[in-house]
Each structure stands twice: as C-alpha cells, then as structure tokens.
Structure 1
Amino acid sequence: MSAGDRPAARAALVVAALLGVAALVVVALSTPWDVLPEPPGGHAALDPTAGLSADQLDRAEAFAAALRPASLLSLVLGLAVSALLGLTPLGGRLVRAAGARVGGRWWAQVLLGVPALLLLGRLVTLPVSAYAESVRHRYGLSTRSWWLWLRDVLVSVAISAALTALVVLAVLWLVRRAPRTWWGWAGGAAVVLVVVGSFLYPVVIEPAFNRFEPLPAGALRSDLLELAEENGTPVQDVLVSDASRRTTALNAYVSGFGSTRRIVVYDTVLDRLPDAEIESIVAHELGHVATDDVLTGTLMGALGAGAATALAGWLLSWAPLLRRAGAESPGDPKVVPLVLLLVSLGGLVGTPVQNLVSRQIEERADLHALDLTRDPDAFVAMQRRLAGTNLGDPDPPAAWHWFFGSHPTVAQRIAMAEDWQRLEEAR
C-alpha cells in the first residue's frame, strides 16, 4: 500500500465501523425482543413433541438426521472451494483464461470469469445437493422430477451468475475510475441495489421458478381479501402457486409492495388445509406487512451492504492479501475470486445474527396472527399440520437452531399460543 493509499484505507475502515454500528443500532431498536407479556402463572412449559404423534416425530428426526450432515458438508465444500480459488493464484488464472477466449479485456474476464467460478463451486457441491434431493424424494417431501431439479439448479446458477457478474463488473469499473474512493461509490450503489431488489424480486425472480394463477372467486378468496383489509394492508390479488410441481410442503406468503403486493398460497395448502388454518398462515404473513418487516429488513440489509463494501475497500488495500490471490491491485480482474470469498465469509458470519433477528420477528408475526384471527385452536392445528407435513423437527439441537433456525421451533410457537390464550382469558 502506498503512502497516498493509507488515508483512503483508514477512511474505508472508519466508514465500515460506523455503518456496522448503525446496522446494530437498527437491529437493537427495531427487533421485538419481548413479544408477549408473561401470563398469570408463568409461561407455558415447552412440549418438545409439540403434540405430534410418535410416528411423526420419528419421521421428522430421521429426515433431519439424513439431511443435516449434507447441509454442513455442502457449506464446508463451498467455502473450501471459494478459499482455494480466492486465496491462491488458481482462481485468478481461471478468470484470465475465461476472458482470453474473447480478447482478454478486463471486462470480458469479469463477465466470463464470474460465471466460471460460480459454476465450478456449484459443480463441487452438486453431488451433495443431489443426495439431499434424493432424501427429500425418499421422505415424500419432493415431487420434482430429476429433470426439473436440474432445470432449477441451472436457472438458479444462471440468475446468480448474471447478477453477480454485473455487480462485480460495476465494482471493478469503479475501482479503476476512482481507486481511492471506489468503496464509497460502491457502498452507495449496494444500498440502492438492496432496496431495488426487494421491490423487483416478486415480479422478476419468483416467476422464474413458479407459475401463478388467481385464486378462484369463493369464500376463501373473499375471506383472505377481507383479512388483508382488516389488517390495514390491502392486497392487489390472491394467487395460487403451482408448488406441487416441486414439493408436498405447505406454505403461503405475502410479497411485493404497493401495486405488486399479493397473497400467494401454495396449491398444496388448498388441497390439505381447512380454510381457518389457511387464514391463520396468511394472517401471520400479513403481520410482516403490518409491521413493515420487509422495509426494516431492507434497511438492515442496505446498512450491512454498505458496511461490507467499505470493509472490502479496506481489505483489498492490503497488499499481502492481494498477493495471496495473485492480483496486482484491487482493479485487477484476478481479484474477483477473492471478492467472492469475502462475500461468502461475510454471509457466514452474519447468518446467526440474521437468524436471531428473524426468530424474534417471526414470533411477533405469530402474535399478530393470533390477534387478527382470534383463533388459537386453528393456529395450533396449523403449526402441527405444517410440522407433520414439512417434516419439521419440533425440538432441534440448540446449537443448530441458534445458527440455522430462522423461525421459532414448533414447540415454542405452540407454547406462545397457549400463553396468548391465557392472557386473553385473564382480561
């Protein structure tokens, strides 16, 4: 690092710290840490079985035991490949070789090198993914043909490669145009990208994997639209997703903003759940809308993206790290594998924090569903039915749930419904 670059690197580190603190403040202030007051007599005791039958418990535990090692192995393999490519000259050589076929210009190396790197990483983990899919087939959770599974993998890789290549291309262009302040411009662009992505996802990405049709007129459609109105968050439509092409899992969600906001119900839900339980699921999802969880999450993501970009500006000014990657400067296309590694490591470090916040937000949405429907029996029945059908472990290992759990356990959700009912009875 030259003497002239040191102040810019220090500035990047300071900005990363400030944005990181700002993100933590937003997390601390916006996360609902205490969702429900303690009812008379104390909180309900957790039932680790969540009321599921012995057969359902055995099946869920066997499914988890077969799938968890594959999930960990895929994570480790992905990081190992990313580290090998990012911390040795091997990745840079692959990027340069990819671009050499079309003239070797720096932008060609990026546009072709990024897909090559992502495809290589995906190929390494593909056997593990195939095993996981076979487990889902064995337990009746997946209905995909292997051709549809492969198509989904290819579409996912293509979308990821295209978007990542364009983002990295923009970053390296900024590095070359503003070598000392690029991280500031890139951080601002990252914030905008997170916000725009939140708005475009339901109309651009979702249709790449599922088809959506309006729910036919009837009592359920009218009740769901009325529920949204009562929630103060009217929706534009109620759609049915053709999820049964891929899974037997049960789910529903609300996506989009304003004119793109819609309730989406899996077709598997329509076939297997009574209307009261469907309304309970949708009421939970409407709770996220009522409390602006997507907007808050977007703000958190934007601040995190800005902080991560500034931190990358500091790390990529460190000459020993660039030499490890075989790159001459932050604007050298051979730095791309290192950038992808830093993104992966950042995501890994942030996962338990994101899931801690997510569990609290999901608990608040559960409370909202109970307040909106006033039907704890339907809520509890729905939770048990989802756990039994989706093969959810009602009481996973604490360490696993701490790191990977984005929702409260089924046992915790049922206990909260019991607390809610006792509080209502005490009023």
Structure 2
Amino acid sequence: MPRPSSRWAPRAAGGLLALALVFTIAVTTPWHLIDLPKPDATLDFSTAEIARQNAFRHEMLPWSTTSWVISVVVPLVIGFSPLGRRLYDALRVRPWFLAVPVTVAGIALITNLLTVPTDVLAERVSLKYGLSVENWRLWVWDRGVNWALTSLGVAVIAVVLMALAKRRPQGWWLPGALVAALLVLGVSFAYPVLVEPRFNNFTSMPAGALRSDFLKLADADGVPVQDVLVADASKRTTALNAYVSGFGSTRRLVVYDTLLKDTPPAQIRLVVAHELGHAAEDDVLHGTLIGVLGTAFGVTLLYLLLGARMADPRKVGVFVALVVVATTLASPVQNLVSRKIEARADYHSLRLTNDPRDFVAMQHDLAVRNISGLDPSRWRYWMFASHPTPPERIAMGRAWAAQNSGPVPPLVRR
C-alpha cells in the first residue's frame, strides 16, 4: 500500500476530479426542455402492437438478462479469487507485458464462451421475430471481433498502468491518469475510422433529392456536413437507425440502409434532423470529455485501492474485475445523461423541421419496426435505457406541437 504521506495528493486529485465530473454532468446535461404529458402507449400503439412487443420481451429478456449477469459475475469471480492468479501462472507466457494481454484475453474468452448458450437463444428470438437476419457465420465473426477489440482496449491500459507502477511505485497515478485519459480521447476520435469499418461497410449516399435535402437541412442548421454515409446494416438486422460518431475531422453522419428502403422521406428527414442535433451540440465530444474525467478519476481511485501492488502483473485479474465493477456502477449515470441528450436531439429535430405529426408517426413506426420496449421495468430502464422510451419521445412531440402548431391527435382511434 502507498505510504500515508503519498496518499494525500491522489486523494485530493481524486476529490477534485470527482467534483469536476459531477459539476460537468450537472451543468452540461439538459435536464429540462419542455413540460411533458404523461406517456401513454395506448394512445398510439394498437393492442396487437403492444402484445407483440410484450411477447418479444417475454421471450428475449430471460436470455439477455442471464447473459448480462454472466458477463458481470464471471470476471468478478475470476478477478477477486485465486483463479485470476492461477490463470496468469497457468498460461506460462513471458515476459509480463505479453502475459498480461493474454490473461486479459483469456478472461474475456472464458466469459464470452460461457455466454454463448444464452446469446444463441437470444439470437434465435430475434430471428424468430424478424429483427435479426444475420447468418450464424457473421454472428460468430462479430463476437470474435468484439472480443478482440475489447480485450485489446483493456490490455493496453493494464500494461501501461503496470509499466508506470513498476517505474514509479508511489506516484504512478498521475501519469497513469493522464495517459488513460488521452487513450479515451484518442479512441473516441479514431473510432469511426478504425473500429466501425470492422463491422460495416460505408458508402456515400447516392446523389438525389433525399441527399440534397439532407445537406440543405444541415446547412440551414449551421452544421458542416460534407457527406452522408450509408451503412450496410441490412446484412444483420431489419432495425432502423442512424447515428453520429467521432468529432472534429472524424465526425460522420451515418444512416442504416434499412432506414432508406421503406421509410417515408419526411420521417427519414426527422431522423437526420435528430442526428444533426447531436452534431450541433457536439454530443460525442461532450460524452468523450466526461469519459476522460471519469477515466482519470478511476485511475486515481485504482491507485488508492492497489497502490504499488499494481506493478504485480498477477494482479491483472483484479484489474479486470475492477474495470467491470466501475463500468457496471457507472451505467445508470451514463444512461441518465444519454437519455437527456437524446431528448435534446429530439427537441432539436422538432425545431428544425417543424413537423410534429410526422415526428409522432416516425417514433411509432421506429418502435414497431425495432420492437422497442414501451414500458420497461424501473431497474431495466435505469440500467440499460440509453434513450427515452417511444411513449416518452412521442410525448415530447405532442408537448412541442401543443406550444407551436396545435395538438397532434392519437394514432389509435378509440
């Protein structure tokens, strides 16, 4: 453990980072945009649509929840027990800076293999309901790529922190926090060009009225957009989606090819306007900076927990377990902030398009097509919901319409 005299600086820095993180989230998160009516799915979703969503979730949630529990519990059991050290020793890889990545990959592989049965059953449900169209070869490939990238990310940070701890046993927290924060910033910047192409192919949207309309919309919004990219998502799913990733020179606006096939142009326009809202507010950069602060705080806290023991590569299992604990505990806060930011992007799309009727219809159609949860349980909402529920988003559209263009009637006739 660090000497008492060496603990005041990381404690003070950790406290300041925690305050900075809380302050940044509190000040920059759009907590309130407009007074919303109480969400009511029965106003806009038919009995058959609600029943289908409930049936899908009834079949899907046991497997997806079990898989999530396994993915959390297994690294904790390995890391916080002698199993982690035994795994490191059993691999017999030397030197240590090669043994650490192999151990990280081993823990991730064990976890991945143990979740295969429940993930297969969950995928079968998605196939049954037509949400997934992915063949099993591609499904295995995606899991393998995800395992490799996740292992690589965790292993790089582990090796860097252990190397610093070996060099500066009583003061590695400061360079460690700086390096880890820079890695988070770099990965977020490079993600669109290094990671996303591992999963999808991207092409420029063909010239035409729709593309021209999008670029005019971006110009009217004051958001510089050089291109609109189309992802070949249809090889995996029938779900509709669009997103913005990266920042600065790597920022890109991407729409799924599934969105362009059957969706009315007015609704596609609203989806793009939502993504322009993210770009206008620099939401990716904002989230990255919060991640930078959170990572620096996490490394400082890690030093207070492990101190010089971080130099022991046989502690890599403990490190992985602590990463899992941190990400799990941070999820409710991350999702809370994400839901507020997504609501702001919805509000932005309404102001930009002045089309609340199509907005309500679009949110309904997206929810039906994606079989989105209309009324998730409270714990699942806080733990997993990165977006407002479809009824909440429709309530946003109705509230905006009531203030600007007149009421939007329910989609379901009574």
TM-score normalised by the shorter chain: which range applies? over 0.9
Kindly indicate whether residue 179 of structure 2 is the aligned counterpart of residue 216 of structure 1: no
User: Aligned with 1:236: secondary structure?
Assistant: coil
Which position in structure 2 is the counterpart of 1:59?
A: 52
Aligned position for 1:31: 29
CA distance in 2, matches of 1:258, 1:81: 38
Determine the structure 1 residue equivalent to 2:167.
177
Secondary structure (helix, strand or coil) at the match of 2:229 reads strand
Q: Which residue number corresponds to residue 245 of structure 1?
A: 235
1:134 shift after superposition? 1.1
In the alignment, the residues of structure 2 paired with residue 250 and residue 186 of structure 1 have an alpha-carbon distance, to the nearest angstrom, of: 40
Q: Is the 8 A contact 1:49 1:395 kept in 2?
A: no
Deviations 1:366-399 (A, max 9, x none): 1000000111111111101100000012222233
For normalisation by structure 1, the TM-score amounts to 0.92
Unaligned runs of 5+ in 2: 407-414
Deviations 1:314-367 (A, max 9, x none): 11139xxxxxxxxxx321111001001101001111111111111111111110
Paired residue secondary structure (2:41): coil
Q: Does 1:127 align with 2:120?
A: no
Distance change in 2, residues 1:87/1:10 (3 Å) = farther
Q: Which residue is 1:17 aligned to?
A: 15
1:294 counterpart (268, 284, 287): 284
**Aligned twin of 1:322:** none
Letter in structure 2 aligned against 1:89: P
Indicate yes or no: 2:111 matched with 1:113: no
Question: Does the 8 A contact of 2:247 with 2:285 survive in 1?
Answer: no
Cα pair 2:30 2:341 within 8 Å, conserved: yes
Residue in structure 2 matching 1:95, options 88, 91, 113: 88
Q: Do 1:236 and 1:260's aligned partners in 2 also have CA atoms closer than 8 Å?
A: no
Residue 419 (structure 1) aligns with: 399
Say if 2:142 and 2:199, in contact at 8 Å, map to a contact too: yes
What is the alpha-carbon distance in structure 1 between the residues aligned to residue 383 and residue 307 of structure 2? Answer: 31
1:207 aligns with 2:189: no
User: 1 CA distance for matches of 2:173 and 2:65?
Assistant: 33
CA shift, 1:149, in A, is: 0.2
CA distance in 2, matches of 1:126, 1:158: 16
Greater shift, 120-129 or 382-391, is seen at 120-129
Work out the number of aligned pairs and report it: 406
Deviation readout 1:63-84 (Å, 9 max, x if unpaired) = 1122222232122212221122
Equivalent AA in structure 1 for residue 395 of structure 2: A
Residue 240 of structure 1 aligns to a residue in which SS? Answer: strand
SS of alignment partner, residue 268 of structure 2? helix
User: Is this contact kept in 1: 2:56–2:129, CA < 8 A?
Assistant: yes
Structure 1 position 399 matched with structure 2 position 392: no
Displacement of 1:259 in angstroms is 3.1
Q: Distance in 1 between matches of 2:285 and 2:223?
A: 14
Task: Give the 3 Å change call, closer, same or farther, for CA 94–260 of structure 1 in structure 2.
Answer: same
2:279 paired with 1:279? no
The 8 Å contact of residues 100 and 158 in structure 2, kept in 1 or not, is answered as: yes
**Deviation for aligned residue 1:243:** 0.3
User: Once structures 1 and 2 are overlaid, which stretch shifts more, 388-397 or 4-13?
Assistant: 4-13
CA deviation profile, 1:196-224 (whole Å, cap 9, x unmatched): 11110111110000011111100000011
What letter is aligned with 1:189?
A: V
Q: Do residues 149 (structure 1) and 147 (structure 2) align?
A: no
Alpha-carbon distance between aligned partners in 2 of 1:298 and 1:10, rounded to the nearest angstrom: 28
Partner in structure 1 of residue 295 of structure 2? 305
Gaps of 5+ in 1: 319-328
Secondary structure (helix, strand or coil) at the match of 2:190 reads helix
Describe the SS at the equivalent of 2:230: strand
1:381 aligns with 2:368: no
One-letter amino acid of the counterpart of residue 31, structure 1: T
